Amino acid sequence: MIIFNSLFTLIIFGCAFPGFGKNHDITEFGAVADSTVLSTRAIQAAIDACSKEGGTVIIPAGNFLSGTLMLKSNVTLQLSRGATLYGSRHLEDYVPNIPEYVALRTRGKTKQLIFAENQQNIAIVGEGEINGQGRFFADKTAKGVQYDRPHLIQFIHCSKILIENVSLKNSGCWMEHYLACDDLQIRGIKVYNHSNKNNDGIDIDGCHRVTISDVNVDSDDDALCIKSTSDRASENVAVSNCLLSSHCNAFKLGTESNAGFKNIAATNLAIKPSSHTDQLIYGHNEGSSGIALEVADGGTLDGVVISNVTIQGTWTPIFIRLDNRARPYRDDQVIHNVGHLKNVSISNVIVTGAGNLGCSITGIPGYPVENISLSNISISFDGGGTKDLVHREIPEKEKDYPEAEMFGQLPSYGFYLRHARNIHFTNVQVSTESKDPRPALCLSDVTDGSFNNLQLGSTPENECSILMEKSNNLSFSGNCISGQTNCFLQLLGKENKQISLLNNVLTNATTICQPGETSKLEIHESGNIR
């Protein structure tokens, strides 16, 4: 197996991969295994020497202290078992870099423990630990975009990167930021980040050809976040076999979305609440969302497939949002266009212990989310909503920061869909642990869709199981009600049309359809069991 892994790594990174060069032990360059003695110069000297011919810089067992390190091409930084690299507690030990690459987070000086720009064939591997000691950095971030605390790792415009097996703890800001990088592999690492604001776990930003596998992330802020903070989309990203815990969003695309996201696949994700409950900096003990897909800054999300996911205890298991925040990534930039969010498939998801907000899939007037498919999904919500929520007016919030809680408790306990086109739900089951008078689904301005083989939990307190307005060309077939409901489908207003009700099992519904004020409505009913 060792021979196979080495051969695989050689094939992926090419013969110049640094792990096949000379070893350089940092103690031979003067590094001291004492967490009170700064060894920055010695470790950097080892990196500089190693980069001349390529090879491995070894951090042996022991505790070492450092400020900013510049990782260079053809260098592997290897942390031995029992080794811990501590980031300095003093901000003056971090070099204020001004990156060449222009993006939202590089418009000013940035600080990092480990930094690389325009490098290739670089790696951080081993069974040791890197600890940023992030709690020692006060948050003095002015209103804007530039953080004043050090990232643990920031690689910009680099290629052929491997991050493997190491443990990463407590950054002053984001733990890992990979910006505009190509051919990035992250596998087998453990991330624990609960020491300061903006404590994301992994941030992939405008990168191409990325694989992330077998990682364990527990973070205060977003656990695994894919971003686009420049004119470069995040493309061709595959995520698999990951355990994600967060007080905020576990798996997220956004919010930064200037170019967008294309060809993203994620499978075999286990999402759960964070193990860190002593102090919340952001979010909630249960987590804000399990899956969040967001376009806010004019970019395009096109081609996202998420499958085989278990989610425990998040407030909002699924959140999909297109809006028009239009935040620029350059000072001289104005974004005039609204983005696109389309071609999304989410399947084989089991959720327990979800909150009582409900899930939402929304665009804005004139700009619907498109081609969204949800299949083989089971969600158990807390319930406990009230009747006054059912006809509550939900503001558009076109310019707001997109987040799962942005609308508050929704008119439906399950899914709220608005400004959406070509939507397909198949084998979706939703229910509540406690009584909730809200409908399972609420549709507003939804066109061209199908809702097949749904099982909708309901109680006699429910006005209806599905509430719909301003929607057309929709079919409902093979659905059934668990419990009792007054009405299966309730229509509001005069703008609904072309509705098909076929082969639904509605023995638990007093009424199949209540047209309300609707005029000139075409409803086709056939094969429904009452």
Evaluate whether 253 touches 292 at the Cβ level (below 8 Å): yes
Within a domain: 50 = yes
CATH code, 150: 2.160.20.10
pLDDT band at 378; cut points 50, 70, 90: very high
**Residue 6: per-residue pLDDT:** 41
- Overall average pLDDT of the 190-209 stretch: 97
pLDDT at residue 280 in the model = 84
In a domain, 331, yes or no: no
Q: Which of 295, 275, 174 shows the shortest CA–CA distance to 234?
A: 295
pLDDT band at 282 (very low <50, low <70, confident <90, very high): confident
Higher pLDDT among residues 519 and 409, named by residue: 409
Per the structure, the complete domain to which residue 70 belongs is given by: 1-199
Q: So what's the pLDDT on residue 272?
A: 96
Residue 10: per-residue pLDDT:
41
Characterise 20 by phi-psi region: left (phi > 0), alpha (psi -120 to 50), beta (else).
alpha
In a domain, 15, yes or no: yes
- Residue percentage of the chain with pLDDT more than 70: 94
pLDDT attached to residue 20: 63
Mean pLDDT on 513-517:
79
**466-495: pLDDT as tens digits:** 999 999 999 999 999 999 999 999 999 888
The answer to whether the peptide bond before residue 255 is cis (omega within 30 degrees of 0) is yes
Per-residue pLDDT reduced to its tens digit, 492-508? 988 899 999 999 999 98
Per-residue DSSP letter, 134? G
Give how many domains the chain has, as a whole number.
Answer: 1
At 528 the pLDDT is 82
Tell whether 118 is covered by a domain. Answer: yes
Place of tokens 């977003």: 222
pLDDT band at 4 (very low <50, low <70, confident <90, very high): very low
Cα torsion 136, 142, 147, 150 to 10°: value is -30
Distance (Å, rounded) from C-alpha 160 to C-alpha 54?
Answer: 14
Q: Is residue 187 part of a domain?
A: yes
Average pLDDT of the chain, as a whole number: 93
445 belongs to a structural domain: no
Q: How confident is the model at residue 8 (pLDDT cuts 50, 70, 90)?
A: very low
- DSSP letters of 405-453? TTT-S-SSSSEEEEEEEEEEEEEEEEEEEE---S-SEEEEEEEEEEEES
Note the pLDDT tens digit of each residue in 139-154. Answer: 877 655 567 899 999 9
Asked, for residue 334, whether it belongs to a domain, the answer is: no
pLDDT given at position 144: 54
> Region 245-250: what's the mean pLDDT?
97
**Which pLDDT band holds residue 294 (cuts at 50, 70, 90)?**
very high
Q: How far apart are CA 480 and CA 517, in angstroms?
A: 25
Buried b (16+ CB within 10 A) or exposed e, 469-498: bbbbbbbbbebbbbbebbbbbbbbeebbbe
Mean pLDDT value across residues 271-279: 89
54 assigned to some structural domain = yes
